[in-house]
A and B are shown apart, each in its own frame.
Chain A
Amino acid sequence: MYVLAQIVLAIALLWGIRLMGKTETARLGNRLAAASLLTAIVLVLGRSGTLNMPIILVSLAVGSAIGLILALRITMLQIPQMVALLNGLGGAASLLTALLAVAGGKGTGSLVGPAAGSMAVAVGGVTLGGSLVAAAKLHRLLPQQPVCARANRLIAPVLLVLLGLSVGMAIFPAGFGTMPGLMAVAVCAVAFGVFFALPVGGADMPITISLLNAMSGIAASVCGLVVDDALLVAAGAIVGATGLILTRVMCAAMNRSLFQVLVGASATPATEPVAGIATDESAPPAATPAPGACGASAAFDPVECLLEARRVVIVPGYGMALGEAEALVRDLYEFLERRGVDVKFAIHPVAGRMPGHMTVLLADVDIPYDKMIQLDAINPEFAQTDVAIVVGACDVVNPAAITAKGTPIYGMPILHVHEARRVIVCNADTQPGYSGIENPLYARDNVALLLGNAASTLDNLLKELQLRGHQT
């Protein structure tokens, strides 16, 4: 009976995930997945004895309340760190559950409990350590740059060996006992997680988050082996598979191998990697030149060319998020739409700090999702585009990825902004992005640079547009 219910719930869960893959049904899918998980919880509660029921119910209520408050208070800008934090908590829960289950099962005398248990503790621990560091980096509690990458190359392998030894100790507890072994596994795993996330730089975060997400699923799945729950095994495995797919997609979009990301190999060791893709908060916003009167590189008037444009593509990057310029981007979009201009948004898979980050920020300011076009679909359109507006993006529009053989970003898929007739760049500065490679785009004479904080440059641009738009 219980097995049947588990199968039904697993299918409902899969169906929900399937629905989440399409924009029209995604919300329904999420709710279906949530409903099947809640049903599973009730089902397990019904099977449990009443002995520890009070403490269980209180824990359920406390956890739900904290989760609810967190989820309702978070802003869309904070989504990446929220996901990283929740991921870590999931890993921690798997760790504790595996410890508890093995502690309760000492008497069975089989190897399965300790073996699967130490696996679950190890994966859960790495997820916990890694996710907390990632969340702290995303929340700017820790520096965005790779931290102690060089020392890490020595420490991480040592920790890995220790982790292996302690797993062995937990499985074959010759004289030590299973529990001390598991504790050692937990400590080593968390430490390894921390050291594995520390050297990851800001722009590599989408890859790290995807990987940690996969690991939290695998931790849950192995935990399912320990407590002998098929639904737990199934759901965890699905999460693991999705996380791995996203990790692969992100790696491909950054032209980085997973190994490079993990050892913190910054693209060019000679130059200090810049934190944001293009924008640095500390850049003096005062240096904003007025549109029209702007810098020497502007061989044309950005305001005029926008007023004449028929087709415009806007390319958002992490600098837009940093400058909190989403609302102004929306205003610009609405202004152009009202003038009958065809406006689209070009979304690069790794723009921002997590997969699809830009989409969420734009949706937050009411940009319809059918205006957000992905890399492959938008690239052929740049040649027919009058003006491309880059807002806080650098590496993802760097033509060096196509032309400069031998540079680290050579071969990375980019948005072909350089094919547009005119380009307006609203970046903080002309510094290289995370890759450390100069962007030759800035030097072209069909490119106007509006340097400074994205919010203030866009604000100026918009005011000027409204003023002159009325006159014509």
Chain B
Amino acid sequence: MPEHSKPWRNAPDRKDLPVRLLLLLVVFAVSTAAGYRIIRRVPPLLHTPLMSGMNAISGVTVLGSLAATAAALSTGSRLLGAAAIVLAMINVVGGFVVTDRMLGMFRSKH
């Protein structure tokens, strides 16, 4: 198994850890600001599809589930991981498909 697939196991050097965390917190702040700027001016017309699409994206947690499950060693944690993946994928696929259906109905006069 490649070392980097289980970052929390082979914890980086203690010295490195705060740096990584800080970096991730910066990513968090920048993304929040970017999301805020992009979304601020969306017309109310699109609120429902937007929310439904965002909902699908929140299933991005599947990336974490995958990494964690790949590194799971006991049967219990494998099952836990499998459950997490199933739930997250329902969120991702269901969310994107229903959003696509919704947007497919939107048409203009011309």
From known contacts A100-B69, A227-B7, A241-B32, infer whether A370 and B48 are also in contact, taking CB-CB under 8 Å.
no
Report B-chain residues with C-beta under 8 Å of the C-beta of A98: 64
CB of B22 to closest CB in A, whole Å: 11
Q: Are A97 and B53 in contact (CB under 8 A)?
A: no
Q: Are A49 and B58 in contact (CB under 8 A)?
A: no
Tell me the complex Cα distance, A70–B95, Å. 9
From known contacts A18-B38, A41-B66, infer whether A220 and B43 are also in contact, taking CB-CB under 8 Å.
no
Report B-chain residues with C-beta under 8 Å of the C-beta of A18: 38
Closest residue of chain A to B107 (Cβ to Cβ) is A368
Report B-chain residues with C-beta under 8 Å of the C-beta of A55: 69, 78, 81-82
Chain A interface category by residue count: 35 or more
Q: Are B45 and A374 in contact (CB under 8 A)?
A: yes
Q: Are A63 and B90 in contact (CB under 8 A)?
A: yes
Q: Are B53 and A48 in contact (CB under 8 A)?
A: no
From known contacts A67-B93, A90-B55, infer whether A237 and B28 are also in contact, taking CB-CB under 8 Å.
yes
Tell me the complex Cα distance, A82–B95, Å. 9
Cβ of A96 < 8 Å from any Cβ of B?
yes
Tell me the complex Cα distance, A64–B56, Å. 12
Chain B contact residues, majority secondary structure: helix
A86-127 interface code vs B (CB 8 A; 1 in, 0 out) = 110110111011111111110111101100000000000000
Q: Are A242 and B66 in contact (CB under 8 A)?
A: no
CB of B41 to closest CB in A, whole Å: 7
Q: Are A21 and B38 in contact (CB under 8 A)?
A: yes
Q: Are B40 and A245 in contact (CB under 8 A)?
A: yes
Partner of B55, one of A87, A227, A245, A372: A87
Tell me the complex Cα distance, A130–B30, Å. 28
A338-378 interface code vs B (CB 8 A; 1 in, 0 out) = 00000000010100001111011001101011111011000
Among B17, B90, B101, max chain A CB count under 10 A is at: B90
Tell me the complex Cα distance, A76–B52, Å. 12
Report A-chain residues with C-beta under 8 Å of the C-beta of B105: 76, 360, 363-364, 366
Number of A-B contacts (CB under 8 A): 419
Partner of A100, one of B2, B4, B14, B80: B80
Q: Are A97 and B27 in contact (CB under 8 A)?
A: no
Q: Are A232 and B94 in contact (CB under 8 A)?
A: no
Q: Are A220 and B61 in contact (CB under 8 A)?
A: yes
Tell me the complex Cα distance, A216–B29, Å. 17
Interface set, chain A 211-249, CB cutoff 8 A to B: 213, 216-217, 219-221, 223-243, 245-246, 249
CB of B81 to closest CB in A, whole Å: 6
Report B-chain residues with C-beta under 8 Å of the C-beta of A20: 42, 46, 49-50, 53
Partner of B70, one of A56, A70, A82: A56
Q: Are B9 and A13 in contact (CB under 8 A)?
A: no
Q: Are B89 and A237 in contact (CB under 8 A)?
A: no
Tell me the complex Cα distance, A22–B38, Å. 11
Cβ of A83 < 8 Å from any Cβ of B?
yes
A57-89 interface code vs B (CB 8 A; 1 in, 0 out) = 011101110111011101010010011001101
Cβ of A34 < 8 Å from any Cβ of B?
yes
Cβ of A27 < 8 Å from any Cβ of B?
yes
Q: Are A239 and B87 in contact (CB under 8 A)?
A: no
Q: Are A100 and B38 in contact (CB under 8 A)?
A: no
Q: Are A67 and B91 in contact (CB under 8 A)?
A: yes
Report A-chain residues with C-beta under 8 Å of the C-beta of B107: 363, 366, 368-369
Q: Are B36 and A89 in contact (CB under 8 A)?
A: no
Partner of B57, one of A225, A239, A364: A239
Tell me the complex Cα distance, A23–B109, Å. 13
Partner of B46, one of A26, A79, A82: A26
B16-44 interface code vs A (CB 8 A; 1 in, 0 out) = 01001101110111111111101111111
- In addition to A55-B81, A63-B89, A229-B67, 11 A-B residue pairs with Cβ atoms within 8 Å of each other are A13-B57, A30-B100, A34-B92, A37-B60, A72-B97, A83-B95, A93-B62, A93-B85, A110-B17, A246-B51, A349-B44
Considering the complex of A and B, which 10 residue pairs feature the smallest CB-CB distances, nearest first? A63-B89, A356-B47, A67-B93, A49-B1, A48-B70, A67-B94, A241-B35, A105-B8, A238-B35, A355-B47
Show 17 A/B contacts (Cβ-Cβ < 8 Å), sorted by A: A37-B60, A37-B96, A49-B5, A70-B98, A71-B94, A71-B98, A86-B56, A90-B58, A90-B59, A99-B80, A217-B58, A236-B61, A237-B29, A239-B57, A246-B50, A356-B46, A370-B108
